[in-house]
Amino acid sequence: MTCYFQGCKNKGITKEHIPPRSFFPDGEKEQLLTVRSCELHNNAKSKDDLYVLAQICMNASPNNRAREVFMNKVVPQLEFNNAALRKRLAEGAVSAGNGAVKYRVDVARLDDFFTALSCGIVYKSCGSSLPANYQISHVYHSLLGAVDSERQQIEDLIDTFYAGKPMTFMEFGAPDARNERIYTVTIFGIPKFQSSITIVHRFFGVFKVTSMLTNAVSAAASS
């Protein structure tokens, strides 16, 4: 059995959790889904797990269980390894007045994380890795930043269009995510990779990310 990651032909000799185990409270194993992974793609993503979890919790708290997970999973790691995680989170932070702080988000780290997560969700849903001709991008609806009006309109349209459940012919598959208070996922796309694929991730019920997996061959043919 090959690795779950797009384009990787190595054998899947380890297990990759999607989302990572660190995202879930101790003792809650309802959503510890796994896919087969090579050592490279298992270890490569793990460096971003806690950073991404911290950003999700800070932007979702106090909704649902975000604060609880932050206190139990992120806080104990802030001073580890010469406070590397604390320094990474604080880098570029600016005061917003009244004691509030705006934290800069390393979008490249989020992109790497959600690309790997999307590949895992696809693999878990259909038993095949994402074909190499798909291009992956992500929309972070829950993050605030300097976005031009045209781009904001596009993101709002994406948010609205993929707000519900897919129509029957667009039911690509379901990875059986069960711990809805932590993570839910909905996948739009014609099965067997006959179209582009859209994955809607939602953490703690409020932190929403839309992953756009574009079939470059189909896109080129229709242009």
DSSP 14: E
Specify if 149 maps to a domain: yes
Query: Residues with Cβ < 8 Å from 166, sequence gap 6 or more?
Result: 172, 186, 187, 188, 189
pLDDT score at 179: 82
Tens of pLDDT, residues 33-65: 999 999 889 876 677 899 999 999 999 977 779
Specify if 9 maps to a domain: no
pLDDT band at 1 (very low <50, low <70, confident <90, very high): confident
Angstrom distances, CA of residue 189 to CA of 3, 177, 203: 22, 18, 21
pLDDT score at 158: 84
Q: Residue 121 pLDDT more than 80?
A: yes
pLDDT score at 222: 53
Q: Residue 175 pLDDT more than 80?
A: yes
Whether the CB-CB separation of 74 and 57 falls below 8 Å is answered with yes
Average pLDDT (102-108) is: 90
The count of domains in the chain is: 1
Domain span including residue 167: 14-222
